[in-house]
Structures are given as structure tokens and as C-alpha cells.
Amino acid sequence: MKKYSELVITDLKAAAKTLSNDDLVAIPTETVYGLAANAFSENAIDKIYQTKNRPQTNPLIVHLHNFEQLPKVAKTIPKEVELLAAHFWPGPLTVVLEKSDAISTKVTAGKNTVAVRVPNHELTLALLRSLAFPLVAPSANKSNHISPTCPQHVFNSLKEDSPLILDGGICSKGIESTIIGFENHKPTIYRLGSISKEAIEAVLGTSVQLANHEVSSIAPGMQKKHYAPRTPFISCTNLQEELKKYPNKKIGVLFFTENPLAKQMLHYRILSSSGCVEEAMANLYKMMHELDELELDVILSELAPEKGVGASINDRLTRASS
Ligand code: AMP
Ligand code: MG
């Protein structure tokens, strides 16, 4: 097994060469680290599914370096997408469009739509510009682990299967992209992420619905529990009451902000001392990883205020909850 120090690189040429040989490279983005492969190579795409133990039914997001490349991967581009891309790209917004013939159904898990975005990370944009193909890049962790927001998280999750990791520091946004689709010409958010519903509505000038994954299969991979630590994890609205249920247990608490209860706790993290939802979002996975490593009996977490990206934080906390 290779050591961490042998896998972490900053050399874009080495990363590009590896990808051109149909091998994988973990890449930094503003959301989380991605496990990247040539989006036009079925052989390379197979390696992603194998490495992550990802179900074949869970499609991948294609990463481009600019909006102008979109016609290569998508057949039709609605006006709303032009508007959204002008505001949010490069950035953490993924759009789902009818796929072009260049995109294999291995990318889309058999669907005739493809998910696409332009990530906002200088190193990865430079890498994409140097390649003759786009990249597919799901989060660089084993399926159902917490997503990685720094190179060490990638290595800790993938271990002996870890590919080269392009070191781009800590992910600034810290949770996955927001995904929007346009089925029947109605903008619908498939996954809340680091762009809020309110911010999208402000750009489109119209209200946007949230997909109900219980009754629809438009975004495979969204129905099931996800983003879970190994330690039993419970998100709650009344922390004080919840704490009483675990006498004599080794408890960790993830506070949204400063809380007098922290004084009684041995193991805790505070997502944002000032109560800032963006800061809390950037810290979320890092602190979940940290608490998960303490061999606790249970982790309790406080929900964020349900506005802006607070709703996205709560989506992840609820999914992680066992
Ligand atoms: P990630 O694992 O963060 O890279 O995100 C991949 C997720 O994007 C999948 O689990 C789906 O929910 C969503 N997705 C990808 N492609 C499509 C598609 N063609 N249609 C709908 N949702 C998609
Ligand atoms: Mg993932």
C-alpha cells in the first residue's frame, strides 16, 4: 500500500497524464474532493464505480471548464440554464440536461439526461483546460462515507484504493453542489447543496420546487441514507432533551453555534461561533469526520436555522441520522 505522502501531488502534468491513461485522480473542487476520470472513457468510468463501491444505478456529474463546452455533452440548453450559468459558473450548481451522443449511459446510469457543472477551483480548472476531455467526478470516498473536504480525508476513506490526490487545500464550500433539473420545463431542485434555493429563485425570478425523492426517481442516489459517519448519528431540535436519553454513554455533540451545554461536554465541535450558515457549511464534514474518529457511542447534532444554505446543512444532518 502506498503512503499518503507518495500519493499527494501538486503537479498538474502528472495528473493530466494519469487521467489520459484512463486512471483516476482525486481532484479538489470548492464543494468536496472528486474522484475524477475521463468522461469519454468507459474503461475509466468503470474504475470509479469499482473504487468507490458505487451502485451502477447512481449517475455521475460531468465537470467542464466553461459554459462554452456545454454543447459537447448536452443536446439542448434551456434559457434558464444560460441565466443560471452566467450567475453561478464557475460554481457549485449542477444542471441536469438531455445528454449528447458523446456521453455514455455509463455516466448517466442509463438515463438520457446528464448532470453537468463548472467547478470553481483554480487548480482543477487549469487541469480541465489542459485535457482534451471533460471529467466525471463523484466525491472521492467509498460510497456512503462522509465526503472528503481535504486530501487526508480522501486517503482515509479510499485507503489502499487511493489514487493520486491533487492537493488543492481545503474545500471552501464544504458540501456538495446544488442540483437542478428542468423536467416538463419546471425548474426543480433535485439536491440542496452549497447554493441556496433562495439564491436560485432570485436569479430565475420565479419560485423553484424541491423534488420529492420519496415518490420520484428523477435523481437516483438521492432516496437513500447518505453521508453517514460510522458512529451512530442523531440530529435533533431539542439537544437538552436528547442528551438525557444517553446516560453513561460516550457522547459527542455537533453544535450549530455557541451553546452553554458545551460546558458539560467532553467531546464537541461548534460549526460556527458567530452562527453564520456559510461558515457552518464549510466546517460540517470536517467536524463530522473529527467526531467520527473519537470512537464515541453516539454523536448528537443540532439542526441549523432552516434558511439559505441552513436548509442544505439540515438535509445532510438528517440523511446522516440513523
Ligand atoms: P455526487 O455523488 O455528489 O457526484 O452527485 C451525483 C448525484 O447527482 C447523483 O447521486 C444523482 O442524485 C445526481 N445526478 C447525476 N446525474 C443525474 C441525472 N442524469 N439525472 C438526475 N440526477 C442526476
Ligand atoms: Mg458522494
Residue with CA closest to ligand 1 atom 22:
219
- Render pLDDT for 13-26 as a digit per residue (tens, 0 to 9): 999 999 999 999 99
- Render pLDDT for 31-70 as a digit per residue (tens, 0 to 9): 999 999 999 999 999 999 999 999 999 999 999 999 999 9
Higher pLDDT, 222 or 201: 201
User: What atom in ligand 1 is closest to the CA of residue 32?
Assistant: 3
Determine the pLDDT at residue 236.
Answer: 94
Domains of the chain: 4-210 (3.90.870.10), 233-320 (3.40.50.11030)
Q: Does residue 214 surpass a pLDDT of 80?
A: no
Determine the pLDDT at residue 185.
Answer: 87
Q: Does residue 317 surpass a pLDDT of 90?
A: yes
Lowest mean pLDDT among 63-67, 124-128, 210-214, 234-238: 210-214
Taking the centre of ligand 1 as the mean of its atom positions, its distance from the CA of residue 13, in whole angstroms, is: 29
**276 contact partners, CB below 8 Å, separation of at least 6:** none
Contact yes or no for 317/250 (Cβ under 8 A):
no
Taking the centre of ligand 2 as the mean of its atom positions, its distance from the CA of residue 266, in whole angstroms, is: 30
To test the ligand 1 pocket, which listed residue (99, 191, 195, 218) has its Cβ within 8 A of the most ligand atoms? 191
Cα 208 to Cα 77, 199, 221, 224, 281: the distances in Å are 18, 10, 21, 23, 22
Work out the mean pLDDT of the chain and round it to a whole number: 95
What ranges in the chain are assigned the alpha helix state H? 4-7, 12-20, 42-52, 70-73, 79-88, 105-108, 122-130, 151-158, 197-204, 239-244, 277-292, 310-320
User: What atom in ligand 1 is closest to the CA of residue 114?
Assistant: 19
Q: Fill in the DSSP letter of residue 280.
A: H
- Render pLDDT for 279-294 as a digit per residue (tens, 0 to 9): 999 999 999 999 999 9
Q: Does residue 174 surpass a pLDDT of 80?
A: yes
Taking the centre of ligand 2 as the mean of its atom positions, its distance from the CA of residue 138, in whole angstroms, is: 6
- Render pLDDT for 85-136 as a digit per residue (tens, 0 to 9): 999 999 999 999 999 999 999 999 999 999 999 999 999 999 999 999 999 9
Ligand nearest to the CA of 183: 1
Percentage of residues in the chain with pLDDT exceeding 70? Answer: 97
Determine the pLDDT at residue 180.
Answer: 98
Does residue 192 line the site of ligand 1, with CB under 6 A? no
* Rounded CA separation 16/132 (Å): 10
Q: How many CB atoms lie within 10 A of CB 159?
A: 10
Q: Does residue 215 surpass a pLDDT of 80?
A: no
Cα 277 to Cα 173, 305, 311, 312: the distances in Å are 11, 8, 9, 10
Average confidence (pLDDT) over 71-80: 97
Determine the pLDDT at residue 184.
Answer: 85
Determine the pLDDT at residue 160.
Answer: 97
Ligand nearest to the CA of 109: 1
Ligand nearest to the CA of 143: 2
Contact yes or no for 16/127 (Cβ under 8 A):
yes
Q: What's phi and psi for 4, nearest 5 deg?
A: -50, -45
Cα 295 to Cα 229, 261, 292: the distances in Å are 11, 21, 7
Tell me whether residue 260 is exposed, middle or buried, using C-beta atoms within 10 angstroms of its C-beta: 0 to 12, 13 to 18, 19 or more: exposed
Determine the pLDDT at residue 228.
Answer: 81
Taking the centre of ligand 1 as the mean of its atom positions, its distance from the CA of residue 155, in whole angstroms, is: 23
